[in-house]
Amino acid sequence: MKNFADKLAEKIVVNRDLNNPAERYRIALIESWGSILGNLLLTAAKALFGLLINSIALIADAVHSASDIFSSLVVLIGFSLAKRKPDPQHPHGHGRIEYLAGLVIALMLIAAGALFVVSSYNRLLRGVSAIPSISAMIVVAISILVKEFMYFFSFKLGKLINSAALTGDALHHRSDSLSSLLVLIALAGSYLGLPTLDAYFGFVVALFIIYAGIKIARQSCSSLLGEAPEADLQEKIIDCAIQTEGVIDAHDLGIHDYGSWKVVTVHIGVNSDLSLDQAHNIAHRVENRISNCFHCQTVVHIDPR
CATH number at residue 97: 1.20.1510.10
Of 85-89, 231-235, 269-273, give the lowest mean pLDDT range.
85-89
Q: Could you tell me the pLDDT band of residue 241, with boundaries at 50, 70 and 90?
A: very high
C-alpha–C-alpha distance, residues 130 and 12, integer Å: 43
87: DSSP letter: B
Same domain, 210 and 282: no
- Per-residue pLDDT at 143: 92
Taken in order 246, 250, 256, 257, the sign of the CA dihedral is: positive
C-alpha 143: how far from its chain's center?
Answer: 20
Q: Which residues, listed in sequence order, are joined to residue 251 by a DSSP beta bridge?
A: 267
Question: CA-to-CA distance for 98 and 48, rounded, in angstroms?
Answer: 32
**257: β partners:** 262
Q: Give per-residue pLDDT as tens, 185-202.
A: 888 887 888 877 777 877
Residue 140: Cβ-neighbour burial (10 angstroms; 0-12, 13-18, 19+): buried
Contact 203, 117 (CB under 8 A): yes
Around Cβ 185, how many Cβ atoms within 10 Å?
16
Do 75 and 95 belong to one domain? Answer: yes
16 and 142 housed in the same domain: yes
**CA dist., res. 283 & res. 248, Å (int):** 12
Residue-wise pLDDT for 3-48, tens only, equals 888 888 888 877 777 767 778 788 888 998 999 999 999 999 999 9
Domain boundary among 200, 225, 250: 225
If asked whether residues 57 and 98 sit together in one domain, one would say: yes
pTM: 0.68
pLDDT digits (tens, 9 = 90+) for 262-294: 889 999 999 988 988 999 999 999 999 999 888
Q: Angle, to 10 degrees, between the axis of helix 21-53 and the axis of helix 56-82?
A: 160
State the average pLDDT over residues 215-222: 82
Q: How far is CA 212 from the centre of its chain?
A: 12
* Phi/psi-derived region of residue 54, left when phi > 0, alpha when psi is between -120 and 50, beta in every other case: left
Check if the beta carbon of residue 266 is closer than 8 Å to that of residue 290. Answer: yes
Domain span holding position 22: 2-225
Q: pLDDT, tens digit, for every residue of 97-135?
A: 767 777 777 787 788 788 778 877 877 777 666 777 888
**HEC assignment per residue over 120-155:** HHHHHHHCCCCCCCHHHHHHHHHHHHHHHHHHHHHH
Last-in-domain residue among 225, 255, 280:
225
- Shared domain check, 103 and 31: yes
Asked if residue 238 and residue 298 are part of one domain, the reply reads yes
How far apart are alpha carbons 125 and 137 in whole angstroms?
25
Same domain, 260 and 287: yes
| Same domain assignment for residues 162 and 263 | no
The residue from 196, 225, 254 where one domain ends is 225
**Beta strand residue intervals within the chain, DSSP E:** 249-258, 261-270, 297-304
Per-residue pLDDT tens over the stretch 155-165: 999 888 877 67
Same domain, 195 and 300: no
Based on the fold, state whether residues 245 and 221 are members of the same structural domain: no
CATH number of the domain encompassing residue 238 = 3.30.70.1350
Task: Identify whether residues 299 and 221 lie together within a single domain.
Answer: no
- φ, ψ of residue 128 in degrees (nearest 5): -80, 135
User: Can you give the C-alpha Rg of the chain in angstroms?
Assistant: 24
Instruction: Find out whether 94 and 82 touch, Cβ atoms under 8 Å.
Output: yes
Comparing 305 with 50, the larger pLDDT belongs to 50
Contact residues for 267 (Cβ-Cβ < 8 A; gap 6+):
250, 251, 252, 300, 301, 302, 303
* Domains identified in the chain, total number: 2
* CB-CB contact of 59 with 199 (8 Å): no
- Does 92 share its domain with 131? yes
Give me the pLDDT at residue 113, please: 80
